[in-house]
């Protein structure tokens, strides 16, 4: 048997854990008020610092209730939770019957606790860190199945500096990303990107890096239909030395 492949999934993280259009809808008794508080926090995190811990607990509980219902077979609107969770759960989906379907292989091809790894890439801002920490907690509890409480071996939050546009420091993001992704500790791993969540301005840097590392790093983006994923990968072209971007739409396996 060949050496077992170890994976690392990089997930770009934005603020959808706080700004989801239907956050708390049908779950929290006063979801409109909760969404107002979340908006106020995203707009002025420093001004809301006093209530940050309490807000974190409240928002986490709403997302947890969402994923608990979902696990129980509930049909829920994707906009009730974060883009990072919805898309990562789809990518990690495995066929419960055991025999892998082709669609699953084109996603992550399974994800194993203790073997595979996730890195959430977040901006160095209070709201970026808030959402990354929250998504990490949800991924651990509902997708990985670990009880780590912040010190996790499987899922880490990595600060991607340079994305703080409000401080006029929106620069150097491509180099910083390369530094993170090509770190020695990931050298044995097969890399994947999930760019469904996160800042749009991060996408060119991810695309450029994946072009440079071609043909090994696929980029996933969940389709607006929510049930499929667009997989982009730079692959060798017909002529020697040529490359082109291969685009595939993958329909997620049923769970």
Q: Which residues bind Zn ion (CB under 5 A)?
A: 140, 146, 148, 152, 155
State in angstroms the smallest separation of the CB of 39 from Zn ion.
29
Q: List helix spans (H) across the chain.
A: 16-19, 31-43, 52-71, 83-91, 102-106, 126-138, 173-181, 203-212
Say which residues have a Cβ less than 8 Å from residue 73's Cβ, sequence separation at least 6: none
Looking at the Cβ atoms of 146 and 158, the one nearer to Zn ion is 146
Q: 110 or 203, CB closer to Zn ion?
A: 110
**Residue 53: CA atoms inside 13 Å, Cβ hemisphere, count?**
1
- DSSP secondary structure string for all residues of 107-124: TTS---TTT-EEEEEE-S
Sheet containing 219-222, strands listed edge to edge, beginning at the edge strand earlier in sequence: 155-159, 117-122, 6-12, 189-194, 219-222, 228-236, 243-251
In whole angstroms, how close is the CB of 35 to Zn ion at the nearest point?
Answer: 28
Minimal distance, residue 88 CB to Zn ion, in Å: 13
**b/e 99-137 (16+ beta carbons within 10 angstroms → b):** eeeebbebbbbbbeeeebbbbbbbbebbbbbbbbbbbbb
Least distance in Å: CB of 64 to Zn ion? 14
Q: Which is nearer to Zn ion, 78 or 155 (CB)?
A: 155
**Cβ pair 10, 196 in contact under 8 A:** no
Minimum separation from the CB atom of position 148 to Zn ion (A): 3
Beta bridge partners of 5: none
Min dist. Cβ of residue 143 to Zn ion (A): 10
140, with CB counted inside 10 A (0-12, 13-18, 19+), is buried
Q: State in angstroms the smallest separation of the CB of 72 from Zn ion.
A: 22
Of the pair 194, 233, the CB lying nearest Zn ion is at 194
Question: What residues pair up with 11 in beta bridges, in sequence order?
Answer: 120, 194
Q: Which is nearer to Zn ion, 118 or 217 (CB)?
A: 118
The residue whose two tokens read 């800042």 is 199
CB closer to Zn ion, 153 vs 254: 153
- Tell me whether residue 155 or residue 206 sits nearer to Zn ion (CB atom): 155
């Amino acid at each position: 048997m060949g050496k077992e492949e170890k994976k690392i999934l990089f997930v770009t993280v934005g603020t959808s854990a706080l700004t989801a259009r239907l956050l708390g809808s049908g779950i929290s008794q006063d979801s409109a008020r909760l969404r107002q508080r979340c908006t106020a926090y995203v707009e002025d995190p420093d001004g809301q610092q006093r209530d940050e811990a309490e807000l974190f607990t409240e928002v986490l509980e709403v997302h947890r209730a969402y994923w608990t219902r979902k696990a129980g077979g509930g049909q829920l609107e994707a906009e009730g939770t974060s883009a990072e969770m919805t898309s990562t759960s789809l990518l990690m989906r495995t066929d419960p019957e055991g025999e892998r379907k082709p669609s699953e292989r084109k996603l992550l091809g399974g994800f194993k606790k203790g073997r595979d790894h996730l890195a959430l890439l977040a901006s160095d801002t209070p709201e970026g860190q808030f959402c990354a920490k929250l998504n990490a907690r949800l991924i651990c509890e509902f997708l990985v199945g670990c009880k780590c409480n912040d010190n996790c071996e499987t899922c880490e939050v990595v600060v991607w500096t340079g994305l703080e546009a409000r401080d006029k420091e929106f620069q150097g993001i491509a180099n910083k990303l390369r530094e993170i992704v090509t770190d020695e500790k990931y050298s044995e791993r097969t890399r994947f990107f999930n760019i469904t969540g996160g800042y749009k301005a991060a996408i060119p840097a991810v695309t450029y890096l994946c072009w440079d590392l071609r043909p090994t790093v696929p980029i996933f983006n969940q389709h607006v239909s929510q049930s499929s994923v667009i997989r982009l990968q730079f692959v060798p072209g017909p002529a020697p030395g040529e490359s082109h971007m291969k685009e595939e739409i993958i329909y997620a396996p049923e769970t």
